[in-house]
Amino acid sequence: MSEMQELLVTADSGTSVDHTDLWRLCVAPMIDVTDRHCRYFHRLLAPRARLYTEMITTGALLHGDARRHLDFDPAEHPVAIQLGGSEPDALSRSAKLAERWGYDEVNLNCGCPSPRVQRGAFGACLMLEPQRVAQGVKAMQDAVSIPVTVKHRLGIDYNEEYGFVRDFVGLLVETGVRVFIVHARNAVLDGLSPRENREIPPLRYDVAARLRQDFPDAMFVLNGGIAQPDQAVSIDDGFDGVMLGRAAWHTPGVLSDIHRIFWPHDAVPTDDDVVEAMVTYAHEQVAQGVPLRFISRALLGFASGRKGARQWRRTLSDASALNRNDPALIRQAWDAVTAQNP
């Protein structure tokens, strides 16, 4: 593990921290979900979780409104940017921009199977071009000092041969990648929608575990199908971290549940404190011109499992109420939930 011990990061306090713990609990990059408001909410729920942006294409950063894509609250640290792209120069320039903005990690998307992403020649289809991925990764590594990581699938279409993903990971390990986020399913590029690709290809945790055994100097974070604290705990014994996706969106309280198990001595805000913090945050954002609906949508799953959850979602989705841009709506909706859950 000598190479791993060299992977140190400097915390805000100025102390050096072994970062083998920093990927233990991660929230997946999710398009149209993990925007900066959602990440702020998730940070409240899990103070040590590693947060990821939505996938941001290199074209959007280099030719669009970079500030709109890159801005984040300092409270989000540690926060990583996930890039979608395949051209080394564009990836290099985008990585530099991300580092300058203050991100803690650059992650390359080699797992998204959507047709739109395929048309851009990135995402899961990049696994079919490992040399191209290695070139892009090398360009980013040469450009920045923060970790460059890769999120990938186990295979493409119906090829379940272990050698395919082993060789893909092996080449990137040779290139210098030391953190891999493994969505433990294949990506079917033709015939399945992105949602179906999250549900139909079978989970193969055993294959992901084999990668960890074969590449002991790299870290492997497991993604796919993790929705309950007991799952996270059992997986924690065999991997370097877990990454939650849709569970963090639909039942965000699970992040706090897992955090309390992983770091039992850390303080985690109560649900009431989280709501008050989000009301305060919403006041700040609305004052800057952000519509309340952009903030409230991150909260829709927060009352999941409680009486009144449906009314909570209905209230925070009510267009006429949201158009008043009064953050007190969040507190009012929460008061209605707590009244039914004494």
Q: Model pTM greater than 0.75? A: yes
Cis peptide before 78 (omega within 30 of 0): yes
Instruction: State which CATH number among 1.50.40, 1.10.10, 1.20.120, 1.20.1420 fits the domain covering 271-340.
Output: 1.20.120
| Confidence at residue 74, expressed as pLDDT on a 0 to 100 scale | 97
- Residue extent(s) of CATH 1.20.120 domains in the chain: 271-340
Reported as a single tens digit per residue, the pLDDT across 234-250 is 998 899 999 999 999 99
Residue 278 has pLDDT above 60, yes or no: yes
Active site residues: 112
**How high does pLDDT run on average in the chain?**
93
Provide CB contacts within 8 A for 205, sequence distance 6+: 184, 222, 235
Over residues 40-69, mean pLDDT: 97
Read off the pLDDT band of 19 (50, 70, 90).
Answer: low
Phi-psi region of 118 (alpha: psi -120 to 50; beta: other; left: phi over 0): alpha
- Answer yes or no: are the C-beta atoms of 34 and 247 closer than 8 Å: no
- Read off the amino acid at residue 284: E
Read off the pLDDT band of 115 (50, 70, 90).
Answer: confident
| Confidence at residue 38, expressed as pLDDT on a 0 to 100 scale | 98
| Confidence at residue 316, expressed as pLDDT on a 0 to 100 scale | 98
What angle separates helix 229-236 from helix 253-262, to the nearest 10 degrees?
40
Over residues 275-300, mean pLDDT: 98
- Answer yes or no: are the C-beta atoms of 216 and 240 closer than 8 Å: no
Q: Which of 106, 163, 181, 157 is nearest to 136 (CA)?
A: 106
Over residues 49-64, mean pLDDT: 96
| Confidence at residue 14, expressed as pLDDT on a 0 to 100 scale | 34
Over residues 258-265, mean pLDDT: 96
Rounded CA-CA distance 289/273 in Å is: 24
Lowest mean pLDDT among 38-42, 44-48, 87-91, 118-122: 118-122
- Residue extent(s) of CATH 3.20.20.70 domains in the chain: 2-262
At the topology level of CATH, where does 2-262 sit?
A: TIM Barrel (3.20.20)
Over residues 63-74, mean pLDDT: 95
